[in-house]
Structure 1
Amino acid sequence: MLRSLPLLLAVTLAAGCAATGNEGGGETGTGGTGPITFATGRDTTAYLQPLLDRWNEAHPAEKVTLLELPEAADEQRAQMAANLQAQSSRYDVLGLDVFWTAEFAENGWIIPLERGLFPLDRFLPPVVETAVYKDKLWAVPYTSNAGLLYYRADLVKKPPRTWAELRAESRRITKKHNIGGYAGQFLAYEGLTVNFSEAVHSAGGEIVSRDGTEVTLDPAKGATAIEFMLQGLREGWIPHESLSYKEEESRLAFQEGRLAFARNWPHAYGPAKAKLGKKLGVTRLPGLDGPGSSTLGGANLAISAYSKHQQTAQEFIRYFTSLENERRVLTEGSFPPVWTELYDDPELIKRFPYLPVLKESILAAHPRPVSANYTQLSLVIASSVAKALSNPSPGAAQDVAASMKSELQEIIRTQ
């Protein structure tokens, strides 16, 4: 059973909140206590409300109300941005996608937090970095995520570690069993940005510097990443219908037996396991010369700069990201937790056999470009790669990569 965290001493919270001024915003109620709202994407597993009920039972004067936003991340962000631009106090705690930190902090929509109030040293290090912008902590990690390679263990001779091995196995299985070889998320949306970023990093490159101030994309590395996908489309082991795939389409194609390999997030494991049983295998993404690098995903919890009850919001985040709640995030919500020790728990590994692989993937993962203009960067990347994949003429990969770099540089210069 969960143990409710004790209330912080008022003096400690007052000191912590006093240090969290609203950079870019106006005067806020940093010492306020009272009812709060938690705005986050729609809960598709019904695990959230029981956790909120436990808080509410222990804090009758500071109850939290769940405000479910649309399931799609871009729609969530749009609703949050509209609310915060209006300086509305309707949202108190915000469930942010990890790559929104820079934008929300830069705009003064969220407040910086006191690092010492949270057990960050017990969290996975790359996950903590997603909550940091300009050397300040702006949110608290809540869930993590990293891409995995799902494969048909009954058809695959050996899990591939390189793109060449993935290609060879895919071609063999496609020819022998008349099914698709490999697919990721290749529709022109955020998922394609993620897939391209993973390919660039898995080829030894990067797109934007860690501080978000410089485009570091080597066009040759970018072309290599695009060519990896183009080769599969030309040779037929990446099905052309995958150009319309988002996460759900690729998940269904794999678990229904139409693919031998599929790149997806950990949430796809449960349904695939239920359908495929012992035929399911999971490993790290392959790369150019060895195991590849995933794009880091997940969600962080931040406090609205316009909340009237920021003290309660801070206490709630401490409660909600506690070790026992994080265990329930995994066991009841099937989301990857942020506490390192949970990935080494024998009981959890027995129930979720992919945890060791997921831990490796998270530790080796790269964050998406840190930029207040991330949305624009992502649109350029996704549209550029989609253009190359839909028209695989000779030299397309090189031309697209060079053009993409120029467009990204223009965005970075104007931020």
Structure 2
Amino acid sequence: MRWARIMGRGLLVGALVMAGYAGAGAGADAAPPGAAGGRGPLTLVTGRDLTGYLQPVLDGWNRTHPDEPVKLVELPEAADEVHAQMADSLRSGSSRFDVLNIDVAWTSEFAGNHWIAPVDGRGLPLDRLLPSVADTATFRGRLYAMPYVTNAGLLYYRKDILDREGLRPPRTWAELEKEASSLAAKYRIGGYAGQFLPYEGLTVNVAEAVQSAGGSILGGDGRQTTVNSPAALEGLRFLTRGVTDGWIPREALTFKEEESRQAFQDGKLLFLRNWPYVYNLASARDSAVAGKFGVVPLPGPDGPGSGVLGGSNLAVNAHSRHQRSAADLMAYLSSEGVQRQVLTDGGLPPVWASLYSDPALIRRYPYLPVLEESVRTARPRPKSARYEQVSLVVAAVTYDALALRQTPEQALARLQRELQDVVRGG
């Protein structure tokens, strides 16, 4: 997903894609495992910081740690390029980068490949985090990262239209279908859209539908495929029914984050599933829906659904020579003061629970309570050392169902087979 581009445009990125760099290889800058653990200068690698908030944060560290200064390396915006460069660098055994700001979905992959070091959580404020967020940093029961930024999908709705009709925002799929079907036709706009192009965004949308219905894609250890279930079928049917019945417009099958955001912002959609960054952009002076929309948690079959956690985690390169300094930097970046800056200066959702009930922050960001509720009920994406392949398969197969080339039953049976091939031995 185009997280880095989104980050520079508004408040709160969905699942921020942070990355690495194809280092010079396992030559002069490589260190053997076990040789790390000392103190010294650090390099923090991240995706492009288009808001410019991170360097001032690191300047604060550098003023108090003159013997352990941090150099910031920013990488490209495109997620696929970013992931490829990071994987190449880590795979080579390079120690060029010490601390890595990685997408939460990559934590399991990097841990499973032994590219990042296990984390001693005793010096980290894990007890101050939103409970669901901490799980994104673990793999097979062990802590491998520190949550830094979080995110969860929200349902945006046209408040002016629902108010005019005397309706409340939907809490269930049935309510959403009914309102999207009847009001979309009446007002000549699209009913509902998410991110339905076959890429990571579709994997997220499908995972949300499946888990909201009580299902899962993979088992907890990432080695078992669990997607061919009645609950998963209910979730996929919800999405395909929208296309068949027309309350999900066919155009939505071409949407990523920005295309769907623009359609809602232009007044062409009644409901939109997207990340919190949309709020500020849709509230801008040039937005057709400024002052006319609201936001609520995603609906599910019988009540509020379950979103997918986005955001980024901080991890330490397993080949870093300065892992003690890296651990201290992680503690600094996850402190309350920096977490407040993450929101106020970076426009990103913090991981500290107390910030979501801060009256001053709520006045500035009125949707924080809704975001907190959504984050608390959200779940990580399927955990697998082969997550990239898992996501590609989920998106490709379920897109065929949304495009009505396969029935949901056929798609899930195929998905079960193909995912088994991917996770075998992972």
Same fold (TM over 0.5): yes
Indicate the residue corresponding to 2:5 in structure 1: none
> What is the 5 A alignment of 1:2-401?
26-156=32-162, 157-274=167-284, 275=287, 276-392=289-405, 396-401=407-412
AA at the equivalent of 1:89: S
Q: 1:392 to 1:226 in 2, by over 3 A?
A: farther
Q: Is the 8 A contact 2:215 2:229 kept in 1?
A: no
Q: Is the 8 A contact 1:220 1:401 kept in 2?
A: no
Distance (whole Å) between structure 1 residues aligned to residue 141 and residue 404 of structure 2: 42
Q: Is the 8 A contact 2:36 2:319 kept in 1?
A: no
What's the TM-score once normalised by structure 2's chain length?
A: 0.88
SS in 2 for 1:87: coil
Distance (whole Å) between structure 2 residues aligned to residue 332 and residue 223 of structure 1: 42
Distance (whole Å) between structure 2 residues aligned to residue 362 and residue 279 of structure 1: 24
Give the CA deviation at 1:29: 4.1
Cα deviation, 1:190-236, whole Å, max 9, x if unaligned, reads: 00000000001111211112222322224433332222122222222
Distance (whole Å) between structure 1 residues aligned to residue 338 and residue 230 of structure 2: 45
Q: 2:421 aligns with which of 407, 410, 415?
A: 410
Distance (whole Å) between structure 1 residues aligned to residue 363 and residue 338 of structure 2: 19
AA at the equivalent of 2:53: Y
Aligned-residue RMSD, C-alpha: 1.6
Cα deviation, 1:61-97, whole Å, max 9, x if unaligned, reads: 3221221122233322211110111111111110111
Give the CA deviation at 1:45: 1.7
SS in 2 for 1:277: coil
Give the CA deviation at 1:158: 1.0
SS in 2 for 1:289: coil
Distance (whole Å) between structure 2 residues aligned to residue 280 and residue 56 of structure 1: 43
Distance (whole Å) between structure 2 residues aligned to residue 254 and residue 392 of structure 1: 27
Q: Is the 8 A contact 2:339 2:350 kept in 1?
A: yes
Indicate the residue corresponding to 2:19 in structure 1: none
Indicate the residue corresponding to 1:15 in structure 2: none
AA at the equivalent of 2:33: E
SS in 2 for 1:112: coil
AA at the equivalent of 1:36: L
AA at the equivalent of 1:92: D
Distance (whole Å) between structure 1 residues aligned to residue 121 and residue 66 of structure 2: 27
Cα deviation, 1:336-355, whole Å, max 9, x if unaligned, reads: 11111111111111111111
Give the CA deviation at 1:186: 0.2
In the alignment, structure 1 segments of 5+ residues that lack a partner are 1-24
AA at the equivalent of 1:99: A
Q: 1:121 to 1:188 in 2, by over 3 A?
A: same
In the alignment, structure 2 segments of 5+ residues that lack a partner are 1-30
Q: Is the 8 A contact 1:123 1:340 kept in 2?
A: yes
AA at the equivalent of 2:112: E
SS in 1 for 2:151: strand
Distance (whole Å) between structure 2 residues aligned to residue 255 and residue 128 of structure 1: 33
Distance (whole Å) between structure 2 residues aligned to residue 314 and residue 269 of structure 1: 34
Give the CA deviation at 1:392: 4.8
Distance (whole Å) between structure 1 residues aligned to residue 34 and residue 290 of structure 2: 53
AA at the equivalent of 1:362: V
The more displaced of 96-105 and 184-193 is 96-105
Q: Is the 8 A contact 1:29 1:309 kept in 2?
A: no
Q: Is the 8 A contact 2:223 2:425 kept in 1?
A: no
Distance (whole Å) between structure 2 residues aligned to residue 391 and residue 147 of structure 1: 25
Cα deviation, 1:281-331, whole Å, max 9, x if unaligned, reads: 000101112111101111100010121222221111111111011011111
The more displaced of 237-246 and 71-80 is 71-80
Number of aligned positions between the proteins: 389
Distance (whole Å) between structure 1 residues aligned to residue 221 and residue 377 of structure 2: 18
SS in 1 for 2:313: strand
SS in 1 for 2:360: helix
Distance (whole Å) between structure 1 residues aligned to residue 418 and residue 290 of structure 2: 45
